[in-house]
């Protein structure tokens, strides 16, 4: 190989390496988008859904949360922002099935206003996931540092479940449970991690890896500003 050819090969390899490095950095820096909720009358309304499998993208089989933006579109993210010291009214459309809990403590509603939530309009403070006539629990919405935790009652595993996000709560094709609760956002700004505490990462060791460890699926951040 002549000197010129060697120079060309070196340059090509250099450019390829640079491109690979750039893609790596981009992958590390890219995070799911933040949905910003601004208060009206000292309150914000945050609407989410849980789906048993996202149905598309790099992880179509993964269980996931989605958040509805103020314009009404479903966004594949678990990061949202609310103002400080504001009443946060959460609605979660739960489209997934579930199972009995390994830790019954997680069946409790904690940290919400009144320590209660509503399931399809009925107030509750604890879910007995071992009830043989029940469906168990699918997921939780939990912000450990604020003591907020709400179990999301499951749909029957025998039901026709939505497996392609976004699932539409207005659709009659798929079953869902509607869980609502409110809590006060902290007085101080910060980034508060939240997650699901049901090991719902099917096919992962004890259900705790994959979507359970990935922001945008079963855990995220509530930014308070």
Measured from the CB atom, the residue of 46 and 211 that comes closer to Cu ion is 211
- Which residue lies nearest Cu ion, judged by its C-beta? 196
Measured from the CB atom, the residue of 46 and 212 that comes closer to Cu ion is 212
- To Cu ion, the closest distance from the beta carbon of 171 in angstroms equals 22
- To Cu ion, the closest distance from the beta carbon of 201 in angstroms equals 8
β-strand pairing of 117-119 with 219-224: unpaired
Alpha carbons 74 and 47: distance in angstroms, whole number: 9
How many amino acids of this chain bind Cu ion (CB under 5 A)? Answer: 5
- In 3D space, the residue among 180, 177, 187, 185 whose CA is nearest the CA of residue 156 turns out to be 177
Residue position matching structure tokens 């000197």: 3
Which residues inside 127-156 make contact with Cu ion, applying CB under 5 A? 139
- To Cu ion, the closest distance from the beta carbon of 136 in angstroms equals 12
Paired tokens of 97: 């099935």
Beta-carbon contacts of 200 under 8 Å, excluding residues fewer than 6 positions away, are: 63, 96, 138, 139, 207, 211, 212, 218
Measured from the CB atom, the residue of 88 and 198 that comes closer to Cu ion is 198
- To Cu ion, the closest distance from the beta carbon of 196 in angstroms equals 3
Measured from the CB atom, the residue of 46 and 92 that comes closer to Cu ion is 92
Measured from the CB atom, the residue of 86 and 201 that comes closer to Cu ion is 201
H or E stretch including 9? helix 3-29
Please identify which residue in 161, 218, 222, 224 interacts with Cu ion, judged by CB under 5 A: 218
- To Cu ion, the closest distance from the beta carbon of 89 in angstroms equals 21
Q: With contacts defined by CB under 5 A, name the span among 4-12, 26-34, 70-78, 217-225 that binds Cu ion.
A: 217-225
- To Cu ion, the closest distance from the beta carbon of 141 in angstroms equals 9
β-strand pairing of 219-224 with 79-82: parallel
Beta-carbon contacts of 24 under 8 Å, excluding residues fewer than 6 positions away, are: none
Measured from the CB atom, the residue of 183 and 194 that comes closer to Cu ion is 194
Which residues inside 96-115 make contact with Cu ion, applying CB under 5 A? none
Alpha carbons 197 and 81: distance in angstroms, whole number: 21
Is there a contact between 189 and 34 (Cβ–Cβ < 8 Å)?
no
Which residues inside 172-211 make contact with Cu ion, applying CB under 5 A? 196, 198, 200
Q: Count Cβ atoms below 10 Å from residue 176 Cβ, excluding itself.
A: 22
Which chain residues interact with Cu ion by CB under 5 A? 139, 196, 198, 200, 218
């Amino acid at each position: 190989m002549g000197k010129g050819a060697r120079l060309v090969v070196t340059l090509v390899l250099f450019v390829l390496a640079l491109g690979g490095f750039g893609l790596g950095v981009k992958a590390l820096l890219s995070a799911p988008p933040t949905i910003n909720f601004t208060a009206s009358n000292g309150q914000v309304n945050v609407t989410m859904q849980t789906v048993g499998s996202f149905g598309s993208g790099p992880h179509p089989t993964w269980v996931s949360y989605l958040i509805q933006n103020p314009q009404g579109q479903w966004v594949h993210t678990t990061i949202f922002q609310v103002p400080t010291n504001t009443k946060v009214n959460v609605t979660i459309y739960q489209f997934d099935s579930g199972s009995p809990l390994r830790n019954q403590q997680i069946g409790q509603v904690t940290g919400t206003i009144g320590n209660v939530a509503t399931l399809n309009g009925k107030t509750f403070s604890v879910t007995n996931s071992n009830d043989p006539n029940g469906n168990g629990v699918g997921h939780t919405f939990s912000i450990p540092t604020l003591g907020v935790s709400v179990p999301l009652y499951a749909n029957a595993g025998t039901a026709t479940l939505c497996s392609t996000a976004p699932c539409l709560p207005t659709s009659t094709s798929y079953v869902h449970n509607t869980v609502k609760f409110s809590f006060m956002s902290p007085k101080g700004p910060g980034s508060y991690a939240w997650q699901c505490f049901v090991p719902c990462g099917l096919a992962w060791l004890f259900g705790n890896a994959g979507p359970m460890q990935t922001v945008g699926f079963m855990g995220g951040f509530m930014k308070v500003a």
